[in-house]
Amino acid sequence: MISPLAYIHPEAVIGENCEIGPFCYIDKNVVIGDNNVLMNSVTILYGARIGNGNKFFPGAVISAIPQDLKFVGEETTTEIGDNNTFRENVTVNRGTAAKNKTVVGSKNLFMEGVHIAHDDIVGNECIIGNGTKLAGEVTIDDKAILSAHVLVHQFTRIGSYCMVGGGTKVAQDILPYSLIAREPAAYCGLNVVGLRRRGFEREIIDNIHKAYQIILQETGLLKDSLARVEAEIPMSPEIEYILDFIKTSKRSFIR
């Protein structure tokens, strides 16, 4: 299951039933779990911690040092969960002193040429399209979809169940459940199709829509709009998530 043309450092830890193709390079201080597939020419560098059942296509580079001039060689990691797919030429950098680790959850699809920078946190079941680039310390919550060639500014947070159109430049937080597109980036409504596909009930979708009507269309203070949502919209985990997301936003959010 391991090609004789692959290089594996003697200190690397490899789990059971892994396939490692020719010209792969696995560095020291690497731990790889069970049932992973590394096609040819995959590079796994120092500090990688990889779970089970992941698939890495040719040219993927995992846990390279950060592209951050503040990085001075500190001990950091790249932590990857289970059952992810990293297509051709995906790059994931390890952390810096800021968070000490870059984290990728489980069941994500990273299409060709995606870049995940230092200290990013990507949740579960996300789809990141071809050529999309995440700057440092970006957070993507579960089940978000970013189309091709999206550019995401550092420190930005992207909410769950959102859909970001191809070529969008993201410089502020993206609200959960939303559609974002255009230039400059703008809120284009709810991701209704995505929510229906994920099994959201119509009443919940309607309440999310009403909450965003209050938050995005009123011209008064944001805190007053949030108070009105709390008073008028039936509370649910989805509404609580929206309110907490906005209250804790550090970069404001795309409207």
Looking at the DSSP bridge assignments, the partners of residue 14 are 32
Q: What is d(CA 255, CA 48) in angstroms, rounded to the nearest whole number?
A: 37
Instruction: Note if 119 is an active site residue.
Output: yes
Contact 194, 161 (CB under 8 A): yes
Q: Tally the C-alpha atoms within 13 A of residue 232's C-alpha that lie toward its C-beta.
A: 16
Q: Of 118, 120, 123, 131, which is the active-site residue?
A: 118
The pair of three-digit structure tokens given for residue 47, joined into one six-digit string: 């500090």
Q: Name every residue whose Cβ is closer than 8 Å to that of residue 193 and which is 6 or more positions away in sequence.
A: none
Q: What is d(CA 30, CA 9) in angstroms, rounded to the nearest whole number?
A: 9
Q: Name every residue whose Cβ is closer than 8 Å to that of residue 72 and which is 6 or more positions away in sequence.
A: none
Instruction: Note if 142 is an active site residue.
Output: no
Q: Of 95, 123, 131, 136, which is the active-site residue?
A: 136
Nearest to 92 by CA among 146, 128, 141: 128
Four-CA torsion 133, 138, 216, 194, nearest 10 degrees: 60
Instruction: Note if 9 is an active site residue.
Output: no
The alpha carbon dihedral of 187, 169, 251, 139 has a sign of positive
Q: Of 27, 68, 119, 141, which is the active-site residue?
A: 119
Catalytic residues: 118-119, 136
